[in-house]
Structure 1
Amino acid sequence: MDPRPARRGLGVDVLTAAKTRISRVFDDFARVYVSFSGGKDSGVLLELAAQEARRRGRRIGVLFVDLEAQYAYTVGYIQQMLDRHADVADPYWVALPLNLRNAVSQFEPQWMCWEPGREQDWVRPRPQWQGATPARGGVITDEGYFPFFRRGMEFEEFTPEFGDWYSDGKLTACLVGIRTQESLNRWRTIASQRKRRHEDWAWTTWIADTTVYNAYPLYDWKTEDIWRFYGKTKTPYNQLYDRMHQAGLTIHQARICQPYGDDQRKGLWLYHVIEPHTWSRVVARVNGANFGAIYARESGNVLGRIKIAKPDGLTWEEFAHRLLASMPAETAEHYRDKISGFLHWYETRGYPGGSIPDEGPASDKRVPSWTRICKVLLSNDYWCKGMSFSPQNRYAQAQYKALQRRRRAEWNYFGEAR
């Protein structure tokens, strides 16, 4: 059952509501910037924010983090929109070496976009866009441009650091084009009563230890509202969506993001259909990309997406140990850390010695079982979201790994007691 309550109308259409929210942001915040991905939602948001900035004689920042494995359609659209709003927008087109998730390989669980020394392997050359006028600068490729930047930072580390830097200590709003219709997690981002908000606006979230708030003016828009906006206003949109529609995707399935992530790998095959010249580079860029493209849409045991099966004569626990034994040592240890934490959590909740059931529903996060653990392993769910864990940045992960080494010796779930 979907835990989200029924929607309550505000008495105005979503476009009017979004414009009102953006206007309030400009009233209260000294600095405003848009997190722009080149997707349909952030495209609407940039258009509305630029209109408001123009009306007020203000300027806005536009952050685009270029993750290298981009469609040519997306790159062209980014250029088009930044040039369209050159009179009010200060662009930050970032093409720096960041670490990203690779969910299609256990041998290379992360990859670095724009990795120095591997230029011949890049999906495409670094962009050369210089803006509508030379004064507006161009693509940021200098690792010393931002004082906070560290080679190999993760995307989730970079974005709040950028916001803190851009704010310069002033009250700042980062406009983000997320909509609650897209996922339960996005709805929780808006609905949470525990987060700190600006002026109790539910559609804002404070970024800890900064003067920055994320603001979500489009949170109540539906996908149909997004495309109705483009149709009525004739605002430019990323024509990659047209190609996705031709490839058979519905308007609710078409999304733009880096290709190798846990959810994004389902769309790897689209590169082959839409941009064959990009596809060859995408496949060669990271371990497992071709495998992921072939099997990400399949059910069954290959990627563990829907149904999973085990060899005859093995319990699910035995199968899990077999799977761990077949993995690269570092990857296997990562999963053993997570599984140990999972078992210990349930040991303190009525399952002595971590003796959870061998068989159970693989996708029910309320019920512990070795079936559920096997699904995580088969689907290469690196952050173990299927066992209710959350992603960690590399610093938190290093601390967690050191702590888990000590704990595992005490818990002895994998025979580590000395």
Structure 2
Amino acid sequence: MSIYKIPLKHNVLEATKDRITWALDTLSRVCVSFSGGKDSTVMLHLAAQQARLMNKKIHVLFIDWEAQFSCTIQHVEKMRHLYADVIAEFWWVALPLTTQNALSQFQPEWQCWEPGARWVRQPPEDAITQPDYFPFYQAGMTFESFVRCFAEWFSQSRPAAVLIGIRADESYNRFLAIASARKQRFSDDKPWTTIAPGGHAWYVYPVYDWKTADIWTWFAKSHCCYNPLYDLMYQAGVPPRYMRICEPFGPEQRQGLWLYHVLEPERWAAMCERVSGVRSGGIYAGHDNPFYGHRKLLKPEHLSWREYALLLLDSMPQATSEHYRNKIAVYLHWYQKKGIAEIPDTQEGDIGSKDIPSWRRICKVLLNNDYWCRALSFSPNKPKHYQRYSERIKSRRKEWGILCNNE
């Protein structure tokens, strides 16, 4: 089934206000997922302002990634105080969460607020740092697992809304996250809703159809506050489409690492000490640098893409190599079951957002340090099950005859 973007004759601002009003009217509880970035800031402004008009209360979830700009922390504090009258609960979460470190093959994952580590900065005094605060929390769980479990916990087994500030215009994957016909909607006329795991909470995307220009036009006309880090990014020459505020070490986010070096040298030094690969990432993770294979993908001319992928696997630390071999073997076996005995070396569009199988795409995953292999349509493994999963797939590789260690 094809999915198309169909323009409607609606003002995105009025449409967003209608969506927020619907959520406040229809669902028992409403939580805004807030990152401090421009999209979630617009969403929190509009949700809080609408809650004031309707004499309602909202909740706010903020995940503190430890390695964050001072401007972002100050902006989050400002927003919390600005709308304190309508915020029933502001969850400032500073718990150990595992996420991807796309800067290193030796430490391909990192854990914010890791116990015993020398943190980049200290969390606020009122932040949630006790592991037993949330009954669903498990030590070192991934960010994705946390937010899924949080949504169900927040719902209290009743219909509830978690407002998420992602825009379909940002990437093909974000477009599919909202537009996929396989996802369950609250109703057919609410395409900007999807059911959350657990079956009680609903993800609501109020600003899903906004463009970057709409975001900045709204700030200019409303005079509402936004993260001042964007002004510093602009002064540093960062194009608006590359301005991102979130955890800093992922495949996309690492491109902004150099800004820490420029804007907060003391915090930069702490980050270099805290996380493997940060120093090299600050040097080589630029937008046009082919080092991580983000936009430009290069290989030795005498090798095919398959041969290059095997060379990259052989050059990695053993634990990292085995992880990728397992993932790639599952990927190749899936296509074998679909009747594709051998994926091609290259295909048109194979290094874009859409998963088009090829060995060149696999090379992109390896060069990108895409440890969770999102570009091959995988999700993060649950830490407590990972070892068992790894051993099982390793034995199956021998059965399938795919990517055994002698290949």
Does the CA-based 8 Å contact 2:32-2:164 persist in structure 1? yes
Deviation at 1:208, TM superposition (A): 2.1
Does the CA-based 8 Å contact 2:355-2:377 persist in structure 1? no
With over 3 angstroms needed to count, the CA separation of the structure-2 counterparts of 1:387 and 1:273, relative to structure 1, is: same
In structure 2, the partner of 1:135 is none
Deviation at 1:212, TM superposition (A): 0.5
In structure 1, the partner of 2:153 is 165
Counterpart Cα distance in 1 of 2:94 and 2:355: 41
With over 3 angstroms needed to count, the CA separation of the structure-2 counterparts of 1:204 and 1:312, relative to structure 1, is: closer
In structure 2, the partner of 1:58 is 56
State the identity %: 48
With over 3 angstroms needed to count, the CA separation of the structure-2 counterparts of 1:177 and 1:316, relative to structure 1, is: closer
Deviations 1:387-418 (Å, cap 9, x if unpaired)? 3434444356455424312321211223469x
Does the CA-based 8 Å contact 2:355-2:375 persist in structure 1? no
In structure 1, the partner of 2:27 is 29
Deviations 1:308-367 (Å, cap 9, x if unpaired)? 444465444333323222211111001111221233233344544x4x445666626676
With over 3 angstroms needed to count, the CA separation of the structure-2 counterparts of 1:348 and 1:217, relative to structure 1, is: same
In structure 2, the partner of 1:100 is 99
Q: Report matched runs for 1:9-88 at 5 Å.
A: 9-10=8-9, 12-88=10-86
Counterpart Cα distance in 2 of 1:193 and 1:315: 37
Instruction: Please provide the CA RMSD for this pair.
Output: 2.3
In structure 2, the partner of 1:194 is 182
Q: Quick one: which amino acid aligns to residue 14 of structure 2?
A: T
Counterpart Cα distance in 1 of 2:287 and 2:232: 22
Deviation at 1:293, TM superposition (A): 1.4
Deviation at 1:186, TM superposition (A): 1.6
TM-score by length of 1: 0.89
With over 3 angstroms needed to count, the CA separation of the structure-2 counterparts of 1:315 and 1:251, relative to structure 1, is: closer
Counterpart Cα distance in 1 of 2:346 and 2:179: 34
Q: Quick one: which amino acid aligns to residue 122 of structure 1?
A: W
Q: Report matched runs for 1:272-283 at 5 Å.
A: 272-283=261-272
Paired residues, number:
401
Counterpart Cα distance in 2 of 1:101 and 1:289: 13
Counterpart Cα distance in 1 of 2:336 and 2:86: 57
In structure 2, the partner of 1:264 is 253
Is 1:222 the counterpart of 2:216 in the alignment? no
With over 3 angstroms needed to count, the CA separation of the structure-2 counterparts of 1:97 and 1:229, relative to structure 1, is: same
Does the CA-based 8 Å contact 1:244-1:274 persist in structure 2? no
Q: Quick one: which amino acid aligns to residue 180 of structure 1?
A: A
In structure 1, the partner of 2:362 is 373
| 365-374 or 159-168, larger mean C-alpha shift | 365-374
TM-score by length of 2: 0.91
Does the CA-based 8 Å contact 1:301-1:378 persist in structure 2? no
Does the CA-based 8 Å contact 1:148-1:161 persist in structure 2? yes
With over 3 angstroms needed to count, the CA separation of the structure-2 counterparts of 1:216 and 1:336, relative to structure 1, is: same
Q: Report matched runs for 1:226-305 at 5 Å.
A: 226-297=215-286, 299=288, 302-305=291-294
Q: Quick one: which amino acid aligns to residue 165 of structure 1?
A: W
Counterpart Cα distance in 2 of 1:373 and 1:76: 40
Deviation at 1:368, TM superposition (A): 4.2
Does the CA-based 8 Å contact 1:156-1:393 persist in structure 2? no
With over 3 angstroms needed to count, the CA separation of the structure-2 counterparts of 1:203 and 1:397, relative to structure 1, is: farther
In structure 2, the partner of 1:111 is 110
Deviation at 1:198, TM superposition (A): 1.3
Does the CA-based 8 Å contact 1:176-1:215 persist in structure 2? yes
Deviations 1:44-103 (Å, cap 9, x if unpaired)? 111111112222222111100101011000000000000011111121111111111101
In structure 2, the partner of 1:133 is none
In structure 1, the partner of 2:123 is 126
